[in-house]
Structure formats: C-alpha cells, structure tokens
C-alpha cells in the first residue's frame, strides 16, 4: 500500500489555479489562507482555490482543520522512504496531480518541517513560497524569537519569501514588523508575530495568484 493516504482525490477543473499547502502540525497559517480564500471568494474573483493540504505527519492537527473546511487532504509519511530524494519525488507526484499547463500549481509551505531537496525546489521554482518568523535576512533557521531577544532587538517580524536551494534566502515578497516589548518572552513574542503571519501570508498568496 502506498505511503500516501488520500481523503478526497477529485481534481479541480482545468482552468482553476490550484494552491497546494504543505504542513506538519497545527496549520494555523494554512487555516488563515483557506478561510481568507473562502471569505474573499478567490474561486470566483481569481479562479483560484486551495485544492489540497498535504502533511508528512498523520497526526497533524491541521489536517482536521482542512477537512472541516472542505479541503482535500493527504498524508505522506517521510519515515516510509529511504531518502529525502525518494520522499520528495513522491511528494511531487502528489502535488503534480493538481498541476496544469494553463494554471500551474502554487506550492505553499505553512509549517512544513522538512528541508527540501534541490531537485524539488527546482521543480517548483518561482511557485514555491514559505513564511519565516523573522525579518530576513536576520535569524534564518530555528528559534528566531529567542535569538532576537538575546540580541537585544527592538523589532522583529515575519517574512514571506520564495524558496530556493539556500535555506531562508529566497527573494523576499513581503514583511511585517512587530515591536519587541520589555516584558516579552520568546513565547509571547511568537504569539504576537503569529497574528501578523495570519494577515500577511494570505495577502501575499492573493498577489501571487494574480501573476500566474
């Protein structure tokens, strides 16, 4: 049996711009995008919709959220594959079910905790985006909020960027700035930054959809 478990295999019509969102956990940014797409009628206004949410973890809570919103879901367990390359090839196979010559799929990373291989990144060059909880190029990688506090930063923020072979160094598409308060801990700061993530990411996705 395949490592992929499909819940809703149907594919959208031939002229729809399909968004595929990759998650590993709670998927709050994914939920923000899905709900914005529905509230702002992206399908009617831009011919675009979230076609699928894919997770590398079967217990990702975001899958439940996606199902509740009527979005197709799939699970692809990375531990079932012998290499990153094998996993990424299978993942691309799932994504490409939603890809179309006249309206190529937009692949959105929303808390997808995997380092993607160069082949995967190249396959979706210009159509693969990520959100990072810092004002890039500052604080690439993990533990961004604690590192910012340790460095004495007065401002932090969030960045939406194109994904390239180099981690967190793709073209910056948009940023939002969040002030650091004297009473902030890493967790408090992360929560305040997250509210900006939920506003920024859907707006950037909408802008990208108008260009593809």
Contact in structure between 60 and 24 (CB atoms under 8 Å): yes
Residue 10 pLDDT exceeds 60: no
Q: Which domains can be identified in the chain, with CATH numbers?
A: 4-209 (3.40.50.170)
Residue 4 vs residue 177, higher pLDDT: 177
pLDDT at 139: 97
| Number of residues that this document lists for the chain | 212
Sheet holding 4-6, edge to edge: 4-6, 72-76, 48-55, 17-23, 106-109, 128-132, 155-162, 172-179
pLDDT at 49: 94
Residue 3 pLDDT exceeds 50: no
Residue 20 pLDDT exceeds 70: yes
Mean pLDDT over each residue of the chain, to the nearest integer: 92
Q: Tell me: the pLDDT tens digits for 96-128?
A: 999 887 777 899 999 999 999 999 999 999 999
What angle, rounded to 10 degrees, do the helices at 28-39 and 186-209 form?
A: 40
Of these residues, 8, 15, 78, 132, which one is catalytic?
Answer: 132
pLDDT confidence of 211, banded at 50, 70, 90? Answer: confident
pTM of the predicted model over 0.95:
no
161 is catalytic: no
């Amino acid at each position: 049996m395949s490592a992929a478990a499909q819940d809703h295999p149907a594919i959208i019509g031939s002229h729809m711009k399909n968004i595929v969102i990759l998650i590993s956990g709670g998927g709050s940014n994914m939920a923000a995008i899905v709900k914005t797409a529905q509230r702002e009628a992206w399908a009617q206004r831009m011919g675009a919709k979230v076609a699928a949410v894919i997770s590398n973890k079967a217990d990702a809570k975001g899958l439940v959220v996606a199902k509740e919103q009527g979005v197709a879901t799939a699970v692809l367990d990375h531990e079932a594959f012998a290499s990153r390359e094998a996993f990424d090839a299978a993942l691309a196979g799932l994504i490409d079910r939603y890809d179309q010559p006249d309206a190529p799929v937009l692949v959105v990373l929303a808390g997808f905790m995997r380092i993607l291989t160069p082949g995967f990144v190249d396959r979706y060059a210009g159509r693969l985006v990520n959100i990072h909880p810092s004002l890039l190029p500052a604080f690439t990688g993990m533990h961004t909020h604690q590192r910012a506090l340790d460095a004495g930063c007065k401002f932090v923020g969030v960045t939406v960027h194109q994904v390239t072979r180099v981690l967190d160094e793709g073209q910056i598409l948009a940023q939002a700035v969040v002030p650091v308060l004297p009473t902030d801990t890493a967790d408090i700061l992360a929560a305040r930054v997250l509210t900006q993530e939920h506003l920024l990411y859907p707006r950037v996705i909408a802008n990208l959809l108008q260009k593809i």
